[in-house]
Amino acid sequence: MKHTKSEALYKEAVKYIPGGVNSPVRSFNSVGISPIFAKKAHGSRITDVDDNEYIDYICSWGPLMLGHSNEEISKGIGEMIASGTSFGLATEIEVEMAKLIVDAYPAIDQVRMVNSGTEATMSALRVARGFTKRNKIVKFEGCYHGHSDGLLVKSGSGTITFGVQTSPGVPTDIVKNTLVCKYNDIEDIKRVFEEDGEDIAAIIVETIGGNMGIVPGKQEFIEFLRKICDEYKTVLIFDEVITGFRLSYNSSLEYFGVKPDMVCLGKIIGAGMPVGAYVGKKEIMEVVSPVGPVYQAGTLSGNPLAMYLGKRNLEILRDNPQIYEALNEKADKLEQGIKNNLKKLNLNYTVNRAGSLVCLFFKEGPVENYDDAIESNVEKYNAYFKEMLDRGVLIGPSQFEAMFLSYAHSDEDIEYTITCNYESLRAIHNL
């Protein structure tokens, strides 16, 4: 497979953009090759500038649950553009979108749109602090909640990949209010609450850890978070930037049967447009300006084009529950296929899965937290990534990311991927 044009573009890109990319995980630095530049994509397939085609399991890092360039979603977007791209005024579609989200989350009452997952988590924490009049927050090792200062502590995703878990540039005065616990470890949360419980404004958690590979939260862990938050009147925030509307239409609420006080949503509610939202119970959301004193704003928040595509995406998901069934079947097939390959090849690696999120860890299981995840053999993963890419299957260029399935992945795509998984594993182990 030739990457001549991508390589030339990369040479040009690094002159003008740090590392040649606008987000670190796109760089492929971690796997030691030049990044591919995308040209177009349709369904489950993405084509690079050299006209190589791949089955895509990045899917824009999650939001494209119905695949790339879905015509059902984008139908009518031309007329929307013709009628104006941004008004700086309230619009009807923002109300419709907010209602759609509230209807999907029986635990919450109000929605504030923002432009990214980072903004959603950053704002939700400010609101939780304003509401509780407390300073500290609890997050978990290996969970990534975007790149705002107070959350870039023992973080996941690119921060693990590039070894900058707590970034320079983040003042220690800020991170002193971020308490970090071990994921899936109830005793560790108890310890932190015994020490600081009266000053903890919020717990923020990925119910399925999606940024240290896939590490599902245990049922009793998620239930315990609810319990301790009730006890200390702490706000429980589910960061569902990856899991929202993906685990099921009612997201973690249905998956775990646990009600959060606030939820952070991101890319998935924009079907690939730059969108995020924080949502919560009325009494909490009423501290937000202009009703209350906590300031949070955004010129392009609730942008009509983003709302249009996001709303169509959610409506399709709401009206077609069979999509979730099909996604689970596809993921199940992929999971079983990879597990069978591992067995056939006598390799003791671990496959973690939650709904349509799948991850092959290059280590023996179980993988239940950050410490387990980082023991994976990253060199092997990187070699595996390259073998898969050469065979036309694009997975995340990092061990610490998920494979994202979409409804557009066909049975043939999955079967081909399983075959490539087998061949790639053989190749990197000389079997």
Q: Which residues bind ligand PMP (CB under 6 A)?
A: 61, 116-118, 121, 144-146, 206, 210-211, 239, 241-242, 266-267, 276
CB nearer ligand PMP, residue 175 or residue 425: 175
CB of 296 to ligand PMP, least distance (A): 15
Cα–Cα distance between 32 and 96 in angstroms, integer?
45
CB of 423 to ligand PMP, least distance (A): 30
Which residue out of 136, 139, 182, 267 is catalytically annotated?
Answer: 267
- State both tokens at 141: 């090792």
CB nearer ligand PMP, residue 206 or residue 368: 206
- How many other CB atoms sit within 10 Å of the CB of residue 282? 10
CB nearer ligand PMP, residue 20 or residue 146: 146
Q: Is 114 left (phi over 0), alpha (psi -120 to 50) or beta?
A: beta
Confirm if 97 and 306 have CB atoms less than 8 A apart. no
CB nearer ligand PMP, residue 67 or residue 117: 117
CB of 300 to ligand PMP, least distance (A): 14
For residue 290, whether the previous peptide bond is cis, meaning omega lies within 30 degrees of 0, is yes
Tell me the C-alpha to C-alpha distance, in Å, between residue 313 and each of 71, 100, 116, 289: 11, 11, 17, 29
Cα–Cα distance between 101 and 113 in angstroms, integer?
11
CB of 387 to ligand PMP, least distance (A): 25
Which residue out of 54, 105, 144, 384 is catalytically annotated?
Answer: 144
The verdict on whether 239 is a catalytic residue reads yes
Q: Which of 270, 222, 269, 248 is nearest to 356 (CA)?
A: 248
Q: According to DSSP H, which parts of 66-185 are helical?
A: 71-74, 77-82, 92-104, 117-132, 158-161, 172-175
Closest residue to ligand PMP using C-beta atoms: 117
CB nearer ligand PMP, residue 144 or residue 381: 144
DSSP 3-state assignment of 85? coil
The verdict on whether 267 is a catalytic residue reads yes
Q: E strands, 104-243, where? A: 110-114, 136-140, 178-181, 200-205, 208-209, 215-216, 235-239
First to last CA, the chain: 23
CB of 338 to ligand PMP, least distance (A): 22
Phi, psi of 107, deg, nearest 5: -80, -15
The verdict on whether 144 is a catalytic residue reads yes
Torsion, Cα 423 157 181 245, to 10 degrees, reads -90
Which residue out of 48, 185, 239, 372 is catalytically annotated?
Answer: 239
CB of 246 to ligand PMP, least distance (A): 11
Q: Which of 357, 359, 367 is nearest to 331 (CA)?
A: 357
CB nearer ligand PMP, residue 125 or residue 383: 125
CB of 186 to ligand PMP, least distance (A): 21
Q: Would you please indicate which residues are annotated as catalytic (active-site) residues?
A: 144, 239, 267
